Structure formats: structure tokens, C-alpha cells
Amino acid sequence: MRLAIRGWRIVAFLIWLGLSAASARNPVGEHAVKVGQPGPWGLLETYEIRLEPPPDYAAAALKSDLREVVWRFMGLNSQTLPEALEKVGLSREQIGDLLKRSETFDMDGGIMVKPPDDWVLSIEPKTRGQLYALLKDDPTTSIFQFPYVLDPRWYDETITMAEVDPTAVELIRKLSYFEESVPVFADMPLVLNAVEDLDDRLHLMRAMLRERSLAVRLRLNKGSDLQALSGYWGAGGRNRDVLPILESVVNTDGVERLDLVHVLPPLPRMLLYTYANPQMAVGTTRPDCFWTAANFFNFEPSDRFLDVRSFEMRLMEQYEEVIGEPRFGDVVLITDEDKQVSMHACNYLADGLVFTKNGRSFSRPWVVDHLNEVQAGYLKAPNVSVRYFRQKSPNYSQP
């Protein structure tokens, strides 16, 4: 597992970021750096970065998405499909036009529809989201269950990139819809089929997989209280060997910053700024936020946490709820209280920052983000709670 993960590390990005033991150089202009609030974690500074997957990852994703647009409605047939489409917000005229102009085939357990491109383009975003919810049970494709998730700024940033076709970006904007207040997109085959040049397709795919994250550095100097800092980042013995790296930085003349990746436990240190390797999936189940949160302090990941029920059981048995300020490594759990459903989990770092993987999609890397930004994506439900949980005692063995 460890070698598979390392094989997908974004090598070019790490070289650019300069993740040596510590760096006295500032890789970005000071105007881009934001200094946080001091606390038991010390003093952190952050700046935004954009992550892109390795070219072979984008090429594989491109190959997967270069296909005919086919919808498979499971559990429906030619008699029940019109009523289901009307319930998601399509008018009878739209439904009639779709069925008249589409190729449809009854299949085992459902019905297959090949919709016209212009008809797909005509759907309003709200209706599109409800329509594509009907397609999430399609066993042959996961795009509707795990659509591309886009930063709201993605459209305006990408349309100015010289290597990306602006027409394709506008097409993606038109075809996007919302899940939990977050823009998502599931019509990549349609867009790619409209882009003729192979290089243009590859550039577009890499732009689709680009993700925003925060790079974080810990400020250190001769007057830093290293015992207090190692106490915070050591998490009560769960994250050992923090003190030596802090001492090495302070004892090196001219070095006053340490990239935060160096004080993370081994697994998140390895995962941060990477995209999941498809080999990490078990069947159709992929590493997600719950897998990530439960494995934070584990030297090797346990795949039992690919099942959210195992995550919830571990939380109930080995963690206790924290009232007050969270600390390094605490699990942040976002829950729909009305449905009693765990919506998201991540790990608290410090000063309002969390380590997170937002969804199971291979297009979502492991990143650092502000907790309030993560929360914003899950506030569609009317009664959402945010709670903190801390492991009861150090446990160095695998679960």
C-alpha cells in the first residue's frame, strides 16, 4: 500500500514546494502569505496552491471519459421512466422530446437511454442534479455517484489559461449543477467529444482535476518553546519524533520556517497533496473522508474504514467527544442530525485548519483547508452539527 501511494505523489509539486527538512527560502511572495493566530501550536502561515495530478493519471481519466453518452436508469422501464422523469422536474414536453429523439433499450434491471447532446445541454442545473440522482445506481459507471467537484473559482481561473479551450470551460459551466451547495459536473464525455484535438483534451482533463489546497509553515526561532510545541504536535504520544525535527530547524542558522508536512504522522504526511491510486479501492469502494479520519495516526491504513459503519463503531468505542477547542488529530464529524447520517469527517490540525479528503472521487486529493470552508459544503441540510472527538489513549497497534 505504501509504495502504491508514493507512486502517485505529485513529484513536480513537491520539488517546487521545497520540502527539505526546512527551508529558509520563501517560495511565494509575502503578499500571498497569511499569518494565523498564535496558540499552543505556535504560529502558522499559509498560502494557496493549486494541485494537478501526474500526466499519466490525467491520461487514464481521459481514456475513461472518452465514450458515448449513455444513461442507464436502474429499476425503471419504458412504462415507468416518463413518470420518474416528471418527478425530477422535467416537463412533459421535455420528456416527450427526449424519448422521441433518443435511442432507448430495455435491459436487465433497467432501461438505457442515449440522449441527444442538445437536449442534455438544455436542462436547468437544479433539474440536472435531480435527474442525475436517478443514475447513481448505474453499476457500469460511477460518474453520477462521484461527479467532478469544482472549486467555485475554477471556471474563471481556467478560462484564462492559454492551453485550455475557453469554449469547453463555458460548456462545463453550463452543465454544472450543485450537490450540498458545491458545484459538481458529470458530463465530461459530452464535453470531450466536442473537443477534437487530443492535446486540448488532455489539458482540459488536467485542469478538471486541479484542486486548491493550503500550504502551511510553522514559524520557529531561537526563542520558540520547543517542549510546548512538541507537546501539541505530538498529540499525547500518538505522533512521536516531533521534537528532533523542531530542534534541527532551530539549531540551523538562517532557517525560521518548517513546512507543516514534517510534523504530520506518517500516513497523512504521505497522502498530503496526492490523488488516490485506483489500486487503493476495494471493489467499487474508495478511500474517502471517513477512511482518512480513522487512519490519521495509523502507520499503515486499515481498509476496514472503507465502510462508514466501521468508522462510526471505532469513533464510539475508542474516542470521546471533546467540548471546547479541538486539538491536533481530533476527528471533526459533520452530521445531518435530522437523518442521523454522518456527512463528513476530517482531522483537526491547528488554528482552524484541517486535513481532509472531500469525497471518494479519485479527482479529490488530500489537502489542508480551513474548517469553515469544508463546513460550507455540507450546510444544505437544515440541521447540521459539527462535533469533535479525541482518541482516548495512544494505540500504536493497527486496528
Asked whether residue 233 falls in the same domain as residue 370, the answer is: yes
**pLDDT score for 30:** 58
Alpha-carbon distance of 389 to 61, in angstroms, equals 36
**pLDDT score for 17:** 36
Of 173, 191, 209, which residue constitutes the final position of a domain?
A: 209
pLDDT tens string for the chain (399 positions)?
333 333 333 333 332 333 333 333 344 555 589 999 999 999 999 999 999 887 887 888 888 888 889 999 999 999 999 999 999 999 999 999 999 999 999 898 999 999 999 999 999 999 999 999 999 999 888 789 878 888 888 899 999 998 999 999 999 999 999 887 778 899 999 999 999 899 999 999 999 888 889 999 999 999 999 999 999 999 988 888 899 999 999 999 888 999 999 999 999 999 999 887 766 656 656 788 999 999 999 988 888 887 888 889 999 999 999 999 999 999 999 998 888 888 899 999 999 999 999 866 666 789 999 999 888 777 666 788 899 999 987 554 444
Asked whether residue 97 falls in the same domain as residue 232, the answer is: no
Report the candidate in 382, 375, 324 with the shortest Cα–Cα distance to residue 346.
375
Of 194, 209, 224, which residue constitutes the final position of a domain?
A: 209
- Amino acid identity, residue 373? E
Q: Is residue 398 part of a domain?
A: no
Alpha-carbon distance of 13 to 249, in angstroms, equals 22
> Which string of DSSP letters, residue by residue, matches 61-123?
HHHHH-S---EEEET--TTTHHHHHHHTT--HHHHHHHHHHSEEEEETTEEEEE--HHHHHTS
Of 152, 175, 209, which residue constitutes the final position of a domain?
A: 209
Cell 489537502 belongs to 367
Instruction: Give, as one character, the DSSP assignment of residue 182.
Output: E
CA torsion, points 354, 357, 363, 367, in degrees to nearest 10?
30
Q: Is residue 257 part of a domain?
A: yes
Q: Is residue 399 part of a domain?
A: no
Residue 230: what are its φ and ψ, rounded to 5°?
Answer: -70, -30
Residues shown for the chain:
399
Asked whether residue 191 falls in the same domain as residue 223, the answer is: no
Number of compact structural domains in the chain: 2
Asked whether residue 143 falls in the same domain as residue 10, the answer is: no
Asked whether residue 7 falls in the same domain as residue 80, the answer is: no
Asked whether residue 192 falls in the same domain as residue 300, the answer is: no
**pLDDT score for 282:** 60
Element (DSSP H or E) covering residue 149: strand 148-149
Asked whether residue 270 falls in the same domain as residue 356, the answer is: yes
Q: Is residue 373 part of a domain?
A: yes
Asked whether residue 106 falls in the same domain as residue 155, the answer is: yes
Asked whether residue 167 falls in the same domain as residue 236, the answer is: no
Which cell numbers hold the place of 150?
469544482
**DSSP alpha helix (H) spans, the chain:** 2-6, 11-17, 55-65, 81-87, 92-101, 117-121, 125-133, 154-158, 166-175, 188-193, 198-208, 226-233, 242-250, 266-271, 289-294, 308-318, 371-376
Alpha-carbon distance of 358 to 381, in angstroms, equals 17
Alpha-carbon distance of 292 to 268, in angstroms, equals 8
246 is in which domain, residue-wise?
Answer: 2-52+212-391
Q: Is residue 230 part of a domain?
A: yes
